[in-house]
Structure 1
Amino acid sequence: MFATATSNLVKEIDPEGCLIPVSRLNDSDKLVPLSLVIRRKRFWFWQRPKYLTSDFTLSDVLNGDKPIKPVVVETDFLKYAGTFGDKLSGKVDGGVGPANFSLEGKGSSKLQSSFGSLKKQEVDVQKLLLDSKDRVLNLEHSLVNQTLGKHSEAFAILKERIVTSQQCSVTEEVLEQGDCAGFFTNKIIKVSVNENENAQQDSSVSLEIPAQTVIAYSVIELEVKCGGQFELCLQPDTIGGFKVDSPKKAKDAVDGRLVKAVGCNPAGTTATPALQRELEKLQAHFQQLADLPAATRSTLLQLLITIMLDRVALAALESGLDQLCCGGTPDLCELQDSPTLKQTVQEVLDLVQQSHQNQSDGQSGGTHPRSPVLTATHVTVSAMAEMTEPALIHLGSCSPRFLLALQQLVHCLAGGGELSLQDPALSQLVEEGEGYQRAEQLFSCSGATLQREASTLRAETGPQAKLRPLVMCISVQGLASLCT
Structure 2
Amino acid sequence: MFKKLTQSIVNQLDPKGDLVPVCSILDHEHFRPLCLVRRKRRAIFHLSPCYKQTQYRLADVLLPGEGDKSTESLLPSPGGEASRQFTVTQSVTNSIDGNLGLHVEPTRIELKGVTSLAKEWTIKMEKRPVPVAKLEVLKEEREINVNHPFIQQLKKTHQNLYVIHETIEASEETSYKESTQAERSFMAQLYAKLRMKGSRVNNQSITIPKGCTLAFRAIPLAIKNGSWDLQYFPEATNRSCFVSDGMSQGKLGELEAEVKKNCQILSKLPSDLSIVFLEAIKAVMRDRNLFQELSQKMEAVLDEGGCCELKTDSPGLKDLLSSFESSPRIHLLSWAEAISYTLDALDELMEDQLLLLLESLEEKIVPKQLKLVKSILEQDQYRKGPSSIDHNLVSFTQEKEEELTIAIVEMSGVKLQKDGSVTCGEEAFSAVAALYVSLYVLNLLSNQD
Pairwise TM-score range, normalised by the shorter structure:
0.5 to 0.7
Residues 1:441 and 1:109: Cα distance change in structure 2 (over 3 Å) = closer
Aligned residues: 403
1:53-452 equivalences under 5 Å are 53-58=54-59, 61-62=62-63, 64-65=65-66, 67=69, 69-70=73-74, 72=76, 73-80=82-89, 82=91, 114=121, 116-129=123-136, 132=139, 136-141=143-148, 143-152=150-159, 154-168=160-174, 188-191=203-206, 210-224=209-223, 226-235=224-233, 243=241, 245=242, 248-249=243-244, 252=245, 256-257=246-247, 259-260=248-249, 263-264=250-251, 272-281=252-261, 284-287=264-267, 291-292=271-272, 303=283, 306-307=286-287, 314-323=291-300, 326=306, 327-329=308-310, 346-353=314-321, 356=323, 367-369=327-329, 370=331, 377-387=339-349, 395=357, 398=360, 400-410=363-373, 412=375, 421=390, 427-428=395-396, 434=403, 437-438=406-407, 441=410, 444-445=413-414
Stretches of structure 2 that go unaligned for 5 or more consecutive residues are 77-81, 105-112, 180-187, 381-387
What whole-Å deviation, never above 9, does each CA across 1:282-331 have from its counterpart, x for those lacking one?
Answer: 66445357934998698567546535xx6x76455433444466444467
AA partner of residue 319 (structure 1): Q
Q: Deviation of residue 71 (structure 1)?
A: 7.0
Secondary structure of 1:211's match? coil
Range with greater deviation from structure 2 (40-49 or 81-90): 81-90
Partner SS state of residue 428, structure 1: coil
On the 8 A contact 1:79/1:117 being kept in 2, the answer is: yes
Going from structure 1 to structure 2, the CA distance change for 1:390 and 1:295 (only over 3 Å counts) comes to closer
Identity of aligned residues (%): 18
Match of 1:97 in 2: none
In structure 1, distance between residues paired with 2:369 and 2:18: 32
Report deviation, 1:241: 7.4
Aligned residue type for 2:58: T
- Please give the per-residue CA displacement for 1:107-159, whole angstroms capped at 9, x wherever unaligned: x997856463211122233454455457643434555444444312x332222
Indicate the RMSD between aligned Cα atoms, in angstroms.
5.7
Which runs of 5 or more structure 1 residues have no equivalent in the other structure? 95-105, 192-206, 265-271, 333-345, 361-365
AA at the equivalent of 2:410: Q
Q: Call closer, same or farther: CA 1:408–1:277 in 2, change over 3 Å.
A: same
* Aligned residue in 1 for 2:185: none
Q: Could you tell me which amino acid in structure 1 is paired with residue 157 of structure 2?
A: K
Partner of 1:50: 51
CA distance in structure 2 between the aligned counterparts of 1:53 and 1:298, rounded to whole angstroms? 30
Contact 2:83 2:127 in 1 (8 A): yes
Q: Is the 8 A contact 1:80 1:118 kept in 2?
A: no
CA separation of 1:478/1:186 partners in 2, compared to 1, >3 Å: closer, same or farther?
A: farther
What is the match of residue 441 of structure 2?
478
Q: C-alpha distance in 2, partners of 1:178/1:328?
A: 38
Q: How many angstroms apart in 1 are the aligned matches of 2:2 and 2:163? A: 23
AA of the residue aligned to 1:189: Q
**1:18 partnered with 2:18:** yes
Residues 148 and 242 in structure 1, CA contact (< 8 A), matched pair in contact too: no
Q: Alpha carbons of 1:130 and 1:315: their partners in 2 closer, same or farther (altered >3 Å)? A: same
Flag the 1:219–1:413 CA change in 2: closer, same or farther, 3 A: same
What CA distance in whole angstroms lies between the structure 2 residues aligned with 1:287 and 1:85? 42
SS in 1 for 2:37: strand
CA contact (8 A) 1:160 1:217 kept: yes
How has the CA–CA distance of structure 1 residues 213 and 397 changed in structure 2, closer, same or farther, with 3 Å as cutoff? same
> Which residue identity lines up with residue 382 of structure 1 in the other structure?
D
2:36–2:56 CA contact under 8 A, matched in 1 = no
